[in-house]
Amino acid sequence: MFVLPAPSEPSAFWSDVKATKNFVLQQSVSTGGAFLKSVLATIQNVLETKPPPYRIVYRHDPSAIAYILLAVGETTGEIESDWKWLSENIMPVVAELDEPAERANFVVTKIRFLVSAEEGGQD
């Protein structure tokens, strides 16, 4: 499910599943081994946060220290659907843009519009 774009930071709680130059599909590390899963679950319970197990973020370049959160998903199928939509509708245009700021602005604007359109259709 696409969400309003929001700043996000790289974290040890996430591992990369797929990546392009500017987009990364990540899986929560808490879905991994039993010991690590229980430790991370404890931390998340203490902090009263439990993020969805999958997310897609945008990064200005591969060495970026800040991301922009674009989508979250509860299932592999859900997040793969969002990844497919991005790869067909957004990634080709982003690849044609020269300036990092221009690429980021394009992505944020398109995702905001998409989320607004989806919310408007649910009323």
Summarize pLDDT for 73-89 with one digit per residue, the tens: 999 999 999 999 999 99
What is the pLDDT, as a whole number, of residue 123?
45
Nearest to 14 by CA among 34, 36, 46, 35: 36
What is the pLDDT, as a whole number, of residue 34?
61
Average pLDDT over every residue of 5-9: 92
Nearest to 67 by CA among 1, 7, 5: 7
Which one is predicted more confidently, 31 or 2?
2
Which one is predicted more confidently, 39 or 3?
3
- In the sheet that holds 2-8, the strands lie side by side as 2-8, 67-73, 54-59, 23-28, 14-19
pTM: 0.82
Which one is predicted more confidently, 27 or 39?
27
